[in-house]
């Protein structure tokens, strides 16, 4: 046990001190800080526009002064606009827009059925977003004029424009409310990203760790003092601790960034998943851990078959394909979680960490189905670990070019001779 812990510590220390880990973690944390403080950064740059340069200057020309005033009032609620009514002729306003002195010139006139219509003349600095806001203000003016001509009171107009009362009640045995499904979708997306990133980064790291030791002939010394099985699980555990450290830093910095820049709500609420039930989070952690150990064991097994770094990536490519397939199936399942295809694939070990978790979050499935999936997953990890241990035991003794899964048979034969 002492040797196992020493190897775990050695694997962890060697990786945590590596330049790739430090640089990757630093860049990721910096990116998270920028994203969580993006609004503050943008506001800081906008402070330099307090002299008025950040305000959109609009000149309104219209013979219908009441309409122009109403339009001015509609845009008065937006601090980004400065509206002047009939201070210039249309030709003067267009010239100033063309010269850059104005951002926009708007001519409001009487159109069909006596309702307002407008033409906007814009400069190079006018953004589509500002034009959309101007169009919305003009639409409100048109509605107000039409309501007045039709002698419709404002209360009726407000009632017409008010959103319809709508509520979804799920009557199915496996159905959740729309709000619960939307919240779970956010958590599923997060888990998809984390598991995919974990397999891509740490699975490759485990495989290259073994290949590096074999290429330097360190493996010959290690197997004389520590069993290959202990080596395999020591590397899996050490790199798991490395991943735990990295993700803890990422989540911690993200939490602090969101908390500091949100007036209310928690970190989860910043991502729209603040009301996720505790059992969903627990299931997510369980499937995430089991999924990691399943793929990590497979990565260590495949990594033991190669002795060159350039062969490691090619050897673990089938594992990468498995997680990519699981990812695409899960994306499909987000919109159709109760289909027979999703139900069937949720019991396939290499897919169940994602797909069964998706079903748990999106549907009210029986507990026995979840227990069965977890049991199949745990059993698969045990079986893969037993097979992987034998392959690893023989694979660490194999040198030379190896990039075929057919070498598994040779590795198992070598492990039998070693007994």
Same domain, 73 and 208: no
CB 168 within 8 A of CB 288: no
Closest CA to 276 of 181, 356, 193: 181
> Are 355 and 330 a contacting pair, CB within 8 Å?
yes
Q: In what order do the strands lie in the sheet with 81-85?
A: 81-85, 56-62, 104-110, 116-122
Q: Is 13 contained in some domain?
A: no
- How buried is residue 296: exposed, middle or buried, by Cβ count under 10 Å (0-12/13-18/19+)? buried
Element (H, E) at 202: none
Rounded CA separation 26/406 (Å): 40
- Assess whether 198 and 222 both reside in one domain: yes
Judgement on whether residues 191 and 79 belong to the same structural domain of the protein = no
Among 126, 161, 196, the domain boundary falls at 161
In a domain, 116, yes or no: yes
Domain shared by 157 and 190, yes or no: no
98: CATH: 3.40.190.10
Asked whether residue 359 is assigned to any structural domain, the reply reads: yes
Indicate whether 188 and 137 sit together in one domain.
Answer: no
C-alpha distance across the termini of the chain, in Å: 21
- Tell me, yes or no, whether 376 lies in a domain: yes
- Directed axis angle between helix 19-36 and helix 228-261, to 10°? 20
DSSP state of 113: G
Would residue 12 count as lying in a domain? Answer: no
What domain count does the chain have?
2
The Cβ-side half-sphere exposure at 22, using a 13 Å CA radius, reads 6
Main-chain dihedrals φ then ψ at residue 219, nearest 5 degrees: -60, -35
Same domain, 81 and 205: no
Same structural domain, 150 and 238: no
Asked if residue 168 is part of any domain, the answer here is no
Domain end, chosen from 137, 161, 185, is at 161
Q: Residue 393's closest CA among 418, 366, 358, 376?
A: 418
**Cβ proximity of 313 and 204 under 8 Å:** yes
In angstroms, rounded to a whole number, what is the distance separating the alpha carbons of residues 328 and 322? 10
Residue 61: which domain range? Answer: 55-161
Residue 79 sits in the same domain as residue 197: no
Sequence-ordered list of residues with C-beta below 8 angstroms from that of 394, at least 6 positions apart, any chain:
410, 411, 412, 413, 414, 415, 416, 417, 418
Residues 93 and 219 grouped into a single domain: no
Kindly state whether residues 284 and 408 are assigned to the same domain. yes
Query: Which of 138, 161, 184 marks a domain boundary?
Result: 161
- Kindly tell me the sign of the dihedral angle through the C-alpha atoms of 192, 195, 199, 202: positive
Question: In the chain, what are the helix, strand and coil shares in percent, each to the nearest 5?
Answer: 70, 5, 25
HSE-up of residue 173 (Cα within 13 Å, Cβ side): 2
Backbone angles phi, psi at 28, to 5 degrees: -65, -45
Q: Give pLDDT tens digits along the chain (419 positions).
A: 677 787 788 778 888 888 878 888 888 888 878 877 776 776 666 554 444 455 778 888 888 888 888 888 887 766 677 888 888 888 888 888 888 888 888 888 888 778 888 888 887 766 777 778 888 888 888 888 887 777 777 677 777 777 777 665 655 554 555 555 666 666 667 766 777 777 777 777 777 776 666 666 555 555 556 666 677 778 788 888 887 788 778 777 776 776 666 544 444 454 444 455 667 778 878 888 888 888 888 887 777 776 666 677 777 788 888 888 888 888 888 788 888 999 999 899 888 888 888 888 777 888 899 899 999 999 998 888 887 777 766 665 555 555 555 666 666 665 555 55
Model pLDDT, residue 375: 92
Q: Is residue 337 part of a domain?
A: yes
Same domain, 115 and 230: no
> Does residue 41 form part of some domain?
no
pLDDT at 404: 54
Q: Are residues 188 and 115 in the same domain?
A: no
117: helix, strand or coil:
strand
Q: Where are the alpha helices (DSSP H) in 170-277?
A: 178-198, 204-215, 218-222, 228-261, 267-270
């Amino acid at each position: 046990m002492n040797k196992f812990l020493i190897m775990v510590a050695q694997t962890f220390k060697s990786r945590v001190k590596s330049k790739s880990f430090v640089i990757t973690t630093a860049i990721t944390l910096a990116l998270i800080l920028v994203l969580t403080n993006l609004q503050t950064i943008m506001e800081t740059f906008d402070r330099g526009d307090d002299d008025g340069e950040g305000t959109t200057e609009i000149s309104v020309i219209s013979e219908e002064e009441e309409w122009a005033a109403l339009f001015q009032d509609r845009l008065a609620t937006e601090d980004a606009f400065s509206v002047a009514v009939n201070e210039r002729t249309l030709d003067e306003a267009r010239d100033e827009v063309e010269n850059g002195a104005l951002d926009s010139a708007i001519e409001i006139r009487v159109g069909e059925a006596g309702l307002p219509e407008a033409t906007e003349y814009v400069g190079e600095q006018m953004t589509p977003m500002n034009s959309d806001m101007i169009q919305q203000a003009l639409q409100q003016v048109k509605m107000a004029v039409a309501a007045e001509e039709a002698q419709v009171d404002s209360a009726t107009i407000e009632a017409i424009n008010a959103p319809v009362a709508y509520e979804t009640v799920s009557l199915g045995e496996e159905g959740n409310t729309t709000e619960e499904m939307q919240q779970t979708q956010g958590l599923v997306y997060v888990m998809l990203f984390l598991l995919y990133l974990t397999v891509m980064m740490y699975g490759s790291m485990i495989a290259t760790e073994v290949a590096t030791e074999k290429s330097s002939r360190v493996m010959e010394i290690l197997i004389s003092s520590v069993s290959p099985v202990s080596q395999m699980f020591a590397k899996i555990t050490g790199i798991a601790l490395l991943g735990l450290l990295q993700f803890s830093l990422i989540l911690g910095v993200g939490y602090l960034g969101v908390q500091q820049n949100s007036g209310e709500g928690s970190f989860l609420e910043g991502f729209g998943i603040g009301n996720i039930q505790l059992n969903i989070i627990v299931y997510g952690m369980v499937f995430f851990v089991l999924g990691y150990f399943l793929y990590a064991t497979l990565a260590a097994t495949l990594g033991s078959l190669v002795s060159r770094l350039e062969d490691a990536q090619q050897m673990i490519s089938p594992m990468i394909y498995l997680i990519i397939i699981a990812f695409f199936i899960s994306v499909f399942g987000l919109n159709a979680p109760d289909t027979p295809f999703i139900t069937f694939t949720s019991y396939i070990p290499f897919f169940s960490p994602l797909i069964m978790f998706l079903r748990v979050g999106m549907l009210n499935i029986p507990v026995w189905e979840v227990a069965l999936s977890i049991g199949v997953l745990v059993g698969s990890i045990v079986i893969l670990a037993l097979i992987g241990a034998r392959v690893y035991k023989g694979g660490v003794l194999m040198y030379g070019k190896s990039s075929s899964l057919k070498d598994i048979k040779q590795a198992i034969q070598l492990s039998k001779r070693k007994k």
